[in-house]
Chains A and B, each alone.
Chain A
């Protein structure tokens, strides 16, 4: 029976070892999760998710669905993106999440409206998207049903978005770094294009809402809410060519312009929720990138 006891001991030791191993693995996973959540929070702010998906001024619960977004095509009601399994995105897999941002498609394959700025977010890396998801899934679930968009025909037909995507959606995903440029420039481009989605407001649009690539960041006379959105290329007269890098970073931090004005309208929210929460290095990278762009004057 000595062998029975020996077997028992071996089994017990093995079980303890296994428990310890899984326990450790669990702790390791939790630490990794906490890191992902922390990185995800930074990305969440940099990408300005809060404002659209929360009815901030109406006192809505965070991420439980946004205020009305009026556009020339009708009114969008940004959905609940809390981890609630019923009304939010709690059942989404990692692949579902990446696909929504990278391809503008819902888990059931239907097309998403580009009022959700995935044409910019498509450039986010997989790693950043998964960190962002980890952060969202760490938030409080809210059981609030989505309000359907109020769109005029034919814009209410989702399947037509296939044509829109084919025309306007650049599906290449994240851009590789340009090795000819310093790391600061590459980071600045990523913060401006992939995260901050500055072009969604600052680049003018074609009739059907595609971005005019050759007038990148050159100002949009018909921005969100009908606001005029200024030219932020380094054009000396019509853009911000006269601004120093310090002027740009101060604006991103506080909203203050070199003329002693304070930006309002949609940019006030961008500063409050996003650019004031960037690291000083990221703000400097944005300034360096903006100043490197080709200056563009008013349209002919």
Chain B
């Protein structure tokens, strides 16, 4: 065998090994590091919140177009389609990084899942309203989604510090 080929293969496998190793570590870092998981959840929440904010501006007649509303609804739909077990992994309650999630969320897990799943029908109504482009209908659907968010924040989130 040509030694250059051997070297190249060796280099390649080392690179692959390094890549996989670090990649694996990288994945482990977000899977296992509670602080990073809290960050991820807060990001998910923020993207839904940002979506609602855009829609609220539209409803109030302050800013935004029907297209902005549709994009915002898409962002909320995507975030709320995540698996609740991924958004709220064990070990990420108050006390972990800057988490505001009350431990009761895991003690009453079926309730938390029910609240999370409650986002789906509310968001579906919002999608419908956004597609129709009717401001009054959007305003009503916005209220429905906020209610679904509030149910969970009422029971399972401490006041943001």
Interface residues of A, Cβ cutoff 8 Å to B? 227-230, 246, 250, 253-256, 258-265, 268-269, 271-272, 276
Contact = CB atoms under 8 A, between A and B. Distances in A.
Interface in B51-107: 51-53, 56, 59-60, 62
Given A230-B159, A256-B56, A262 B150 contact: yes
Interface in B34-62: 46, 49-53, 56, 59-60, 62
A289 to B, nearest CB: 20
A268 B159 CA distance: 11
A276 B143 contact: yes
27 contacts: A228-B158, A229-B159, A253-B143, A254-B142, A254-B143, A255-B147, A255-B150, A256-B52, A256-B142, A258-B53, A259-B49, A259-B53, A260-B46, A260-B49, A260-B50, A260-B56, A261-B49, A262-B52, A262-B146, A264-B153, A264-B156, A264-B157, A265-B154, A265-B157, A265-B158, A269-B154, A276-B143
Contact of A272 (B53, B147, B159): B147
B75 to A, nearest CB: 11
A173 to B, nearest CB: 33
A52 B159 CA distance: 21
Given A228-B158, A260-B46, 9 more contacts: A230-B159, A246-B62, A254-B56, A260-B49, A260-B53, A261-B49, A262-B49, A262-B150, A276-B143
Contacts of B59: 250
Contacts of B155: 264
A230 B52 CA distance: 22
A263 B52 CA distance: 13
B160 interface: yes
B143 A265 contact: no
A271 B150 contact: yes
Contact of B149 (A227, A250, A262, A276): A262
Nearest to A57: B155
A228 B62 CA distance: 31
Nearest to B45: A261
Contacts of B60: 246, 250
A258 B52 CA distance: 10
Contact of B154 (A256, A258, A259, A264): A264
The bracket for how many chain B residues form the interface is: 20 to 34
Nearest to B53: A260
A260 B157 CA distance: 16
Interface string B113-151: 000000000000000000000000000001100110111
Contact of B150 (A246, A253, A268): A268
Contacts of B53: 256, 258-260
B77 to A, nearest CB: 16
Contacts of A230: 159
B147 to A, nearest CB: 7
Which of A259, A264, A269 has most chain B Cβ within 10 Å? Answer: A264
B153 A268 contact: yes
A263 B158 CA distance: 10
Contacts of B142: 254, 256
A152 to B, nearest CB: 25
Contacts of B49: 259-262
Interface-centre pick from A254, A255, A269 (highest chain B CB count, 10 A): A254
A260 B147 contact: no
A126 B53 CA distance: 41
Contacts of B62: 246
Contacts of B156: 264
A230 B161 CA distance: 10
Contact of B146 (A228, A229, A255): A255
A9 B87 CA distance: 85
Contacts of B146: 254-256, 262
Contacts of B160: 261
B112 to A, nearest CB: 13
Contacts of A254: 56, 142-143, 146-147
A253 B60 CA distance: 12
A261 B152 CA distance: 12
